[in-house]
Amino acid sequence: MAGPMWWAVVRERAAACWWQLLLVKLAFAAAGNVPASVVGRSGAASEAAAVLLFAAGAALSA
């Protein structure tokens, strides 16, 4: 056997839905970068940026 059975399952699932994983990763990257760039351009304090990013993360994980 090449490795643990769970690793074979992970590889099989990743091969079957790699494009879905990529879309989720890109969506989370965009959701994190857009608020940070908007707050950064507006000159807001870093505390405001932290609150905004926390709220965006809470909304996405709900």
Q: What is the pLDDT of residue 23?
A: 84
Q: If we measure between CA atoms, which residue out of 26, 35, 30 comes closest to residue 54?
A: 35
Q: What is the pLDDT of residue 41?
A: 66
Which secondary structure element, helix H or strand E, spans residue 19, and what is its range? Answer: helix 18-42
Annotate 5-24 with b (16+ C-beta within 10 A) or e (fewer). eeeeeeeeeeeeeeeeeeee
**Residue 13 is encoded by which pair of tokens?**
């699932």
Q: What is the pLDDT of residue 45?
A: 66
Q: What is the pLDDT of residue 2?
A: 57
- Tens of pLDDT along the chain (62 residues)? 456 888 888 888 888 888 887 888 888 787 777 766 766 666 666 677 777 778 877 777 75
Q: What is the pLDDT of residue 40?
A: 66
